[in-house]
Amino acid sequence: MSEHSTYTPGSGLEKWLDERLPIIRFSKEHLMDFPTPKNLNYWWTFGAILVMCLGIQIVTGVILAMHYTPNIGMAFDSVEHIRRDVNGGRMIQSFHAVGASMFFAAVYIHIFRGMYFGSYKAPREILWILGVLIFVLMMATAFMGYVLPWGQMSGWAATVITNIFAAIPVIGTPLLELLRGGFSVGNPTLNRFFSLHYLLPFVIAAVVALHIWALHVPGNNNPIGVDVKDSRDTLPFHPYYTMKDAFGMVLFLIPFVWFAFFAPDILGHPDNYIQFDSQVTPAHIVPEWYFLPFYAILRAIDFNLLFINSKLLGVMFFIGSIVILFLLPWLDTAKVRSGSFRPMFKWFYWLFVINFIGLTYLGAQPAEGIYVLLSKVCTAYYFIHFVVILPVVSCIEKPRPLPTSISESVLAKSHA
């Protein structure tokens, strides 16, 4: 899909440049003329929205790093200093903190869009895998960023999450001490988390470039999941989708700035405005909302299985819940991509979404009473969806007839 360039260098200078570094040709092919299915809906604007989110995090983050001090004696105060004293610091800090939540909100929508429309299926498996990799990197980055303000939630999140590595047999404890740089979470931990929190967004940006490269080889999937057949099925990316994406970004920025301006702390925890104390764990610790489903899975496993103790088993399920996403292209073997044409899959898809929201809710509840049981049920269903339901549904389901082409389906809609 790269031989569609209409670029002819206009001036002598452009021709000279084109023969040495064809950057204008490349940009025109991939950012302007790129043939894009003409039926993409607003769920497809989240790719561009996510690029914007990454940009906002990097710009605000670089600025915050100019005022932040990664030392356990000063970190907490330096964040307060940013919020109170630095010119405009209150807004820059809240855009960065709210930005993390909005970034995850957008990425969850982006992932669930891909799941519904079968965007992970051949020939887009690598595209999907790179996407899951970005998600993992985002989680690592967000976690380390959350530690930096050095409040109670920061310090205890660092303690609990680094402790996950201690569950690994034999090398667990040495690995834990290597990660923390001590026997407990302390100054070396904070300092290295700051260093890595600054590094990882640029790694994410590099994987995003690969993700877009992998997208531009087969081209976009689309809501009916039928391949592009000829030029009547597509529109050039610019101006059609640059404008649609820009409009999507503006809509997305409305709740974003509402949070940043009017409720910058509503997504956080009051406990994080108390400086970290390694001797007192807050009565009820919960991670940021975007980690809750996976946290619920980690916590649901409170029993031993054969020779595997509950701690290691919980960690295995926790890691497995993310690793299984990498395998999704091979678990759902149905040839039809779009959920719109899969009567059975559609139901199970929405059940999975409800179950995932359920896990989010349960992750925020105390580990007692009925919540313990419900967490186990929802955790089991999460895995059953991938390992049992998807392969079985792919075999027994009879999909509805597909439109012959994108352009036919668009025209049929406008006549109806």
d(CA 176, CA 109) in angstroms, rounded, equals 34
Determine the Cα–Cα distance for residues 239 and 315; give it in Å rounded to an integer.
47
Q: How far is the CB of 366 from another protein (least distance, A)?
A: 7
Cβ at position 302, least distance to another protein in Å: 4
Per the structure block, which two tokens stand in for 304?
């031993």
Token pair 């887009």 is at which residue? 124
Query: Least distance in Å: CB of 72 to another protein?
Result: 11
Nearer to another protein, 231 or 304 (CB): 304
Instruction: Give the residue carrying structure tokens 């409305």.
Output: 254
Compute the distance between CA of residue 123 and CA of residue 216 in angstroms, rounded to an integer.
Answer: 11
* Cβ distance to another protein smaller for residue 5 or 187: 187
Smallest gap, in angstroms, from Cβ of residue 163 to another protein? 4
> Cα–Cα distances in Å, from 249 out to 116, 255, 258?
22, 11, 14
Contact assessment for residue 140 and residue 334, using Cβ atoms and an 8 Å cutoff: no
Of the pair 370, 396, the CB lying nearest another protein is at 370
Query: How far apart, in Å, are the Cα atoms of 79 and each of 82, 88, 89, 229, 288?
Result: 5, 13, 9, 54, 18
Give me the torsion for CA of 323, 328, 330, 334, rounded to 10°. Answer: 170
In the complex, what is the shortest distance from the CB of residue 178 to another protein, in angstroms, rounded to a whole number? 5
Burial (CB < 10 A; 0-12, 13-18, 19+), residue 140, is: middle
Nearer to another protein, 134 or 164 (CB): 164
Please measure the distance between the N-terminal and C-terminal CA atoms of the chain and give it in whole angstroms.
32
Distance CA(413)–CA(416), nearest Å, equals: 5
- Taking the least distance from each CB to another protein, the nearer of 191 and 242 is 191
C-beta of 185 vs 214, nearer to another protein: 185
Q: CB-based contacts of 379: which residues, under 8 Å, 6+ apart?
A: 296, 297, 300, 301, 317, 321, 359
User: Which residues sit at the interface with another protein, rule CB under 8 A?
Assistant: 156, 159-164, 177-184, 186, 188, 192, 278-285, 299, 301-302, 304, 309-312, 314, 366-368, 372
Which of 280, 411 has the CB closer to another protein?
Answer: 280
Least distance in angstroms from the C-beta of 44 to another protein: 39
CA pair distance 246, 51, nearest whole angstrom: 12
Nearer to another protein among residue 152 and residue 220 (C-beta): 152
In the numeric block, which tokens belong to residue 106? 């957008």
Give the chain's length: 416
At residue 99, φ and ψ (nearest 5 deg) are -55, -35
* Residue 84: Cβ-neighbour burial (10 angstroms; 0-12, 13-18, 19+): exposed
Nearer Cβ to another protein (322/367): 367
Question: Is it true that the peptide bond before 123 is cis, omega within 30 degrees of 0?
Answer: yes
How far apart, in whole angstroms, are the C-alpha atoms of residue 353 and residue 370? 21
